[in-house]
Structures are given as C-alpha cells and as structure tokens.
Amino acid sequence: MFNIKTIKCAVVGAATALAFIPLIASAEAFDGPYVGAEAGLGIVKSEGSLLTGPFKHTDNSAVVNAVAGYRMPLGDGVPVVLGVEGNAGVYTNGGDARYGVSGVGGFKLGDSAMVYGKVGYAWLDGVPNGTGKGLDGLVLGGGAEVALTDTISARAEYRHVDYGGVNLPDNVVDWTGHEVTAALLFNF
C-alpha cells in the first residue's frame, strides 16, 4: 500500500534520475517514451442514502502525480498518435494514494500541439467504502499538450473517474472523482 512518504520518495527519485539521463530528441513531437510530474485539483464526491435520508459529500484536495508513458504516431505524416500512460501519486488532503493506467489517443495540431482523449482505470487507496478496500473505477479524460522544445512539453488535462458504488446493510453510496491537472513532461 502506498503512503505519502513512499510517493514523495518515488517522485524525488524519478526527478533525480532524470537529471542523469541524457534527453534524446525525438524524430517527431509526441513520439516515444516520456516521464513527468503533474499537479492540480482532485475532487471525490460521495452520494447516497442512509437510514437518516439522502446525503452528498465532497472532498477537495491537491493531487500530485508522477507519470510515465509511451506513444507513437500511426505513420509518417499521419496526425493521429496512440499510446499508453501510467501514473502514481497522492491526494494531499489525507495522504490517499492514487494510481492508474490509460490508453491515450491524440490528434496533432501542426508540429507542436496535440489534443487527446484517454480511457483507463484508476485506484484510490484510503477511502473507506465498506469493503475494507479503496476505490477503483473507469477513467475518461482529455486534454491538450504543447511541445515547448524537442524534449519538453506541457499539458492541461481533465479526468472523470467513476468509482462505482457499494450497497451496505443500511445505505447505498456512489463515488465519482474529478481531476484537473497541469503537467510538465520530459520526452526521450
């Protein structure tokens, strides 16, 4: 199980490793492996009914993630990019670890910009759901990315996570998550 110290160590370790890895320019923007860091706002909403009646609750938190992935264009001169991305991080409002994996499909806008969508799966530890486990569910999202140099890009992204629901003896609870992040990526 992840905790905040583990996540901090992983992020610091990844950043230190980057300092010693020569960044090799890709032949084309948005092509090849990449790593980076993202930060933003994470919102987890719970909604349901208890014996006392309906309820709604929202937790807002900063979210910080390390990301790594690989992507490639469909062919020379084809503006479509496909890839896969993993992330691991933390919701700072309680140290809940969050991690996920997604398939990414993008459309290049010229040589240095891309809009993209993603579909994947995410896990959030530390949130009680009546089963003794954290939450997990389907991720749908999208964003825009701009190549700042041959090896550095920046992006803004929105993700919706449907963590599903659980039926407990006296209540029914559904969880959803929303994340809005900005990231700095280092492309190899």
Q: Is the pLDDT higher at 176 or at 23?
A: 176
pLDDT category at 25 given cuts 50, 70, 90 is very low
User: Which tokens sit at 180?
Assistant: 């809005």
CATH number at residue 88: 2.40.160.20
Averaged confidence pLDDT in the chain: 83
Domain count, the chain: 1
Domain extent at residue 93 = 4-187
Q: Give me the residue label for tokens 């938190």.
A: 61
Which of the two residues, 20 and 74, has the higher pLDDT score?
74
Q: How far is Cα of residue 183 from the mean position of the Cα atoms in its chain? A: 10
What confidence score (pLDDT) does residue 137 get? 92
What pLDDT, on the 0 to 100 scale, is given for residue 114?
A: 98
Query: pTM value?
Result: 0.79
83-120 b/e (C-beta count within 10 Å ≥ 16 → b): bebebbbbbeeebbbbbbbbebebebeeeebbebebeb
Read off the amino acid at residue 38.
E
Distance CA 41, CA 180 (A): 5
Q: What is the band of 131 on the pLDDT scale with cuts at 50, 70, 90? A: low
179 vs 96, higher pLDDT:
179
Q: pLDDT at residue 118 above 60? A: yes
- Higher-confidence residue of 88 and 188: namely 88
Instruction: Tell me the average pLDDT across 17-34.
Output: 61
User: Which of 116, 126, 85 has the alpha carbon at shortest distance from 103?
Assistant: 85
- Residue 117 tokens, joined: 């969508």
- Taking the C-alpha atoms of residue 121 and residue 48, their distance in angstroms, rounded to an integer, is 23
pLDDT tens column, 144-176: 999 999 899 999 999 999 988 776 666 777 888
Under a CB-based contact definition with an 8 Å cutoff, are residues 95 and 3 in contact?
Answer: yes
When mean pLDDT is compared across 38-42, 47-51, 58-62, the lowest value belongs to 47-51
Work out the pLDDT band at 12, boundaries 50, 70, 90: low
